[in-house]
Each structure stands twice: as structure tokens, then as C-alpha cells.
């Protein structure tokens, strides 16, 4: 796997220059995410232990089955890649298929999907949630083009997007209520990762 596609040197430089994330109390935000914890039986069967997970609320403006399928494949891959990179420095996504599972979906002019993020992703979202979302946003922007519609990376200044993620984290900390991760993918392919109090 080539590191060039993910431009990790540029990510590291931008991340180092982006000081706003250092002002976030990530453990406290992780505690609020932990208050939204889901416990469920893996789809692999009853002989597997119950999993603890953080819910991701995914909004897809384009609800065609092809778009939903491609987007969920991309999202799972980049979630596992971000967890692997933050945990061990490897760009190779974790092979553990139970890390990400779809728990529910509801259609109201768009589709809202609840995805459970378990295992290493759970650990990172409850300890380093802002770092995890900043990296996930970067990987998402540099991913293989499986999702048909997306904005070219060159048009996006990641620090503006990251500042929005930090602002959402601050609002959630001030509210002090349980928090979930949100992913919104518009019809033009633009994607926003964030946090939301419940």
C-alpha cells in the first residue's frame, strides 16, 4: 500500500500546525461518548461475546442502494484504517470484521443509519475522539474512489473542517450530555464528521 496516496507527511504537518485540538479535553469528551455506549450481540453468532460500541449516526442524502452500499464500504474501511494507524502506525486496516456493524436504518427523504463502532475504534473514540475524527476526515478525503460522487480533495481546506469538528466537541462538552459521532454525506459528495449531544 502506498503512503503517497494518503499524503501522511502533509497530514502530520497540518495536524501539528492545527493547535485547536490541543485545547479539547478529549478524555472528558470520550466519557460523554461512552455514555451513549451500545452493547449488542455480534451478527457473527451467539457464541461470540457481547460487544461494546459507540454509535455513529450516518446521514446519506442519496439513498439509492448503490450509493448506500458503496458509502458504507468506504466508511467501514476508513474507520478500520484510522483505528489501525492511530493504534499501531499501520495504514493497513484492521482485519477484524466485527469492528463496524449496521444496527438500524430509517428512511425519511434520505437515509439515517446507526453504525456501531467496537473494539479498537471504541477505545480510540473514548480516549482520543477528536484525534480520531481529524484522521478519519483526512483518510476519507484521500480514499479510493469507490463512492461515485465526492468533492476533489484539492477544493477542501482541512483546517476549516477540523475547526468545525473542534467547535462541535466544545459544544458537546459544555452541554455535558451523552454524545454520538455524526457523519453527513450530501448528494454532491461533501461529507461532515462531527459530534452531537443527545
What is the model's pLDDT at position 1? 47
Instruction: Mark out the alpha helices in 24-64 (DSSP H runs).
Output: 26-34
Is pLDDT at 175 greater than 50 in this prediction?
yes
Q: Report how many domains make up the chain.
A: 1
- Residue 134 in contact with residue 86, Cβ under 8 Å? no
Q: Which of 49-58, 70-79, 93-102, 166-175 has the weakest average pLDDT? A: 93-102
Span 63-87, average pLDDT: 90
- The whole-number average pLDDT for the span 173-187 is 94
The rounded distance, in Å, linking the Cα atoms of 15 and 142 is 15
- The 10s digit of each residue's pLDDT in 84-98 is 999 999 999 888 777
How confident is the model over 1-15, as pLDDT tens digits? 455 678 888 899 999
The confidence band for 102, taking pLDDT boundaries of 50, 70 and 90, is confident
Residue 142, C-beta contacts closer than 8 angstroms, at least 6 positions apart: 5, 6, 7, 153
Alpha-carbon span 102 to 122, nearest angstrom: 15
pLDDT band at 143 (very low <50, low <70, confident <90, very high): confident
- Domain containing 166: what range? 4-197
Compute the average pLDDT of residues 96-118.
78
Digit-coded pLDDT (tens) for 41-59: 777 665 667 888 899 999 9
Q: Shortest CA distance to 56 belongs to which of 99, 116, 101?
A: 116
Amino acid at each position: 500500500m502506498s503512503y503517497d496516496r494518503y499524503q501522511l507527511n502533509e497530514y502530520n504537518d497540518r495536524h501539528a500546525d492545527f493547535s485547536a485540538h490541543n485545547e479539547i479535553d478529549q478524555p472528558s469528551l470520550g466519557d460523554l461518548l461512552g455514555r451513549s455506549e451500545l452493547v449488542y450481540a455480534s451478527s457473527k453468532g451467539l457464541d461470540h461475546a457481547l460487544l461494546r460500541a459507540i454509535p455513529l449516526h450516518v446521514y446519506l442524502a442519496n439513498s439509492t442502494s448503490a450509493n448506500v452500499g458503496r458509502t458504507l464500504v468506504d466508511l467501514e474501511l476508513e474507520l478500520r484504517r484510522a483505528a489501525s494507524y492511530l493504534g499501531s502506525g499501520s495504514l493497513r486496516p484492521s482485519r477484524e470484521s466485527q469492528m463496524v456493524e449496521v444496527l438500524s436504518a430509517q428512511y425519511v427523504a434520505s437515509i439515517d443509519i446507526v453504525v456501531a463502532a467496537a473494539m479498537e475504534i471504541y477505545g480510540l473514540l473514548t480516549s482520543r475522539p477528536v484525534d480520531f475524527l481529524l484522521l478519519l476526515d483526512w483518510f476519507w478525503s484521500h480514499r479510493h474512489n469507490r463512492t461515485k460522487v465526492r468533492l476533489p480533495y484539492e477544493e477542501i481546506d482541512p483546517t476549516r473542517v477540523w475547526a468545525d469538528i473542534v467547535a462541535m466537541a466544545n459544544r458537546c462538552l459544555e452541554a455535558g450530555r451523552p454524545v454520538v459521532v455524526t457523519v453527513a454525506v450530501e448528494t454532491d459528495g461533501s461529507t461532515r464528521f462531527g459530534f452531537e449531544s443527545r
